[in-house]
Amino acid sequence: MAYVTPFTYRQGQSLLHLLDVRCKFFMICLISMSMLSAHLSACFFYFLILLFFFNKAGLNIFATLNSIKYFILLLFFIFIARALTVKGDILFSFYGMSITEQGLNEGILVAFRFFLVMLTGLLFSITTKPSSVKSAVQWFFKPIPFVPEKRVAVMISLSLGFMPVILKQAKEISDAQKARCSDLQKNPVKRITRLVLPLLKKTFLSADSLVLAMESRCYNDDRTDPEFLPSGKEIPFLIGSFIISLSLACL
């Protein structure tokens, strides 16, 4: 999956890496929520905190930005759209369109908030193992009725496992077809079905053998619970994130 997802878990031993995943989940929800009403100065303050943790986790913020450049482009469009549409004191105008001071401010604020929520999410996915994400999902779903949380956790594992297999097979199928000049085919419906149909058939067959393998290893929904390894610093982090989200919401 490496080439499609530049942003995935990186091994490490930083504070955030070791923090209990449930605590991180809680923090990310809290902060993202309070971000909705955060002011510019508070946003900037929080940005500095994020920079600190990116640094702590041994990550280069610029490499990070590069991997989300399309999202940043989208934010730029949001900024332009806001700047042009919000009514207020006109700063300057051209070709019948005008940029207002209020529009500019609001555009920056909205784009900045999205940007920060995105960075927070990235920091989480870089420092958290997929398997602990799965365990946390299972833990949070446990009190919710009608959700078979253990099966959901197994399904998350399975689908993450299928992804590299599908990508590998997609590449093989597409190469095999290119070798037989499939590029000459102009009909888009045929192009899609010729890639997807063999891919689905093949992966469904391997899914069938997975079913057998799971059955032979006694799969059932009543399984051992995952274990969590708290680092002992969860309480200060929770308090810290409470303070941050309070200041984001109120400042």
Task: Show contacts with other proteins in window 33-72 (CB under 8 A).
Answer: 67-68, 70-71
With CB under 8 A as the rule, give the number of residues binding other proteins.
87
Spell out the alpha helix ranges (H) of the chain. Answer: 15-18, 21-35, 40-56, 61-67, 69-85, 101-127, 130-141, 149-178, 188-216, 234-250
Candidate residues 49, 167, 238, 251; the one interacting with other proteins per rule CB under 8 A: 167
Residues 198-217 that bind other proteins (CB under 8 A): 200-201, 203-204, 206-217
Return d(Cα 40, Cα 27) in angstroms, integer: 21
- CA gap 24, 234 in Å, rounded: 9
> What burial class does residue 245 get, using C-beta atoms within 10 Å of its C-beta: 0-12 exposed, 13-18 middle, 19+ buried?
buried
Sequential DSSP letters for 43-65: HHHHHHHHHHHHHHTT--HHHHH
Query: Binding to other proteins by residue 235, rule CB under 8 A?
Result: no
205 is written with which tokens?
């067959």
- Nearest distance from residue 93's CB to other proteins, in Å? 18
CB of 216 to other proteins, least distance (A): 5
According to CB under 8 A, which one of 48, 184, 189, 229 is a site residue for other proteins? 189
To other proteins, the closest distance from the beta carbon of 14 in angstroms equals: 16
**CA triplet 134, 137, 142: central angle to 5 degrees?**
130
For residue 92, the minimal CB distance to other proteins (Å) is 20
Binding part of the chain for other proteins, among 22-30, 49-57, 90-98, 239-247 by CB under 8 A, reads 22-30
Tokens of 1: 């999956």
Site for other proteins in 113-152 (CB under 8 A): 114, 117-122, 124-125, 128-131, 133-134, 136-137, 151-152
49-57, 89-97, 158-166, 230-238 -> range binding other proteins (CB under 8 A):
158-166
State which of positions 75-104 bind other proteins (CB under 8 A): 77-78, 81-82, 85-86
> Of 55, 60, 193, 231, which lies in the binding site for other proteins, with binding defined by CB under 8 A?
193
Q: What does the alpha-carbon distance between residue 120 and residue 31 come to, in Å, rounded to a whole number?
A: 9
Work out whether 157 is an interface residue with other proteins (CB under 8 A).
yes
Tokens of 237: 């982090």
Distance CA 155, CA 178 (A): 34
Q: Which of 10, 142, 178, 223 binds other proteins (CB under 8 A)?
A: 223
Q: Which is nearer to other proteins, 137 or 238 (CB)?
A: 137
Stretch that binds other proteins, among 41-49, 54-62, 112-120, 235-243 (CB under 8 A): 112-120
> For other proteins, which residue of 161, 230, 232, 240 counts as binding (CB under 8 A)?
161
Dihedral of CA atoms 23, 24, 26, 31 in degrees, nearest 10, equals: 140
